């Protein structure tokens, strides 16, 4: 099965620590993650930003005054997926550290997550939609050789 065609613009804002994020996000890695998550051809911009820019975008476009890990601005789904994915480097790094996972692994998850949003997937509409999106993310990440990011939350809890 041929993967979808992808036109990719990968951008890094200027911020302290950007070198670590550039190292975790080689262009080929980003393209591979996105192409696996896409069901059709796409033109995507991926921008890695600092907390200030991430917070401003989240506040101005979603009405939420904090920096979040990934924002997806989807412009078209047919005949071509067109979207901007904005990843907030300090948030992604803090989450990766908290989850004790490599930065690149967490970026892979968020790139897939953002690409699914660009195609209309939404985890905030219902529990069923959230479960479907998580299952698709897990499937795509497995194809990339990445672990299931939701494995911890699905483990049965011990009584007591």
* 154 confidence band (pLDDT: 50, 70, 90): low
What's this model's pTM, rounded to 2 decimal places?
0.93
Q: What is the mean pLDDT of residues 130-155?
A: 90
The pLDDT of residue 158 is 41
**Is pLDDT above 50 for 122?**
yes
Q: Write down the pLDDT at residue 48.
A: 98
Contact yes or no for 44/60 (Cβ under 8 A): no
User: For position 116, what pLDDT does the model report?
Assistant: 98
Let me know: does 6 contact 44? Beta carbons within 8 Å. yes
Topology annotation, domain 6-154: Collagenase (Catalytic Domain) (3.40.390)
For the cut 90, the answer to whether the pLDDT of residue 44 exceeds it is: yes
**Interval 55-75 mean pLDDT:** 97
- More confident site: 2 or 54: 54
Report, as an integer, the average pLDDT of 77-91: 97
Report, as an integer, the average pLDDT of 127-139: 95
Name, in order, each residue with C-beta under 8 angstroms of 90's C-beta and a sequence gap of 6 or more: 17, 50, 51, 54, 67
* Domain coordinates in residue numbering, the chain: 6-154
The predicted structure's pLDDT at residue 155: 46
Residue 33 has pLDDT above 90, yes or no: yes
Please tell me whether 117 is known to bind a ligand. Answer: yes
Beta-bridge partner residues of 8 = 44
Q: Is the model's pLDDT at 14 over the cut of 80? A: yes
Indicate the pLDDT class of residue 157, thresholds 50, 70 and 90.
very low
Residue 134 contacts residue 141 (beta carbons within 8 Å):
no
pLDDT confidence bin for 151, thresholds 50/70/90: confident
């Amino acid at each position: 099965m041929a993967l979808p065609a992808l036109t990719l613009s990968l951008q890094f804002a200027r911020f302290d620590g950007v070198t670590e994020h550039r190292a975790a996000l080689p262009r080929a890695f980003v393209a591979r993650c996105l192409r696996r998550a896409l069901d059709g051809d796409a033109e995507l911009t991926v921008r890695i930003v600092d907390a200030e820019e991430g917070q401003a975008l989240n506040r101005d476009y979603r009405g939420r005054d904090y920096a979040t890990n990934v924002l997806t601005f989807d412009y078209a789904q047919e005949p071509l997926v067109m979207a901007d994915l904005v990843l907030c480097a300090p948030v992604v790094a803090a989450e990766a550290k908290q989850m004790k996972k490599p930065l690149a692994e967490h970026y892979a998850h968020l790139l897939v997550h953002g690409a699914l949003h660009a195609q209309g997937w939404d985890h905030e509409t219902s529990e069923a939609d959230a479960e479907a999106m998580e299952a698709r993310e897990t499937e795509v990440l497995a194809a990339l050789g990445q672990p299931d990011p939701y494995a911890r939350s699905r483990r049965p809890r011990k009584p007591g």
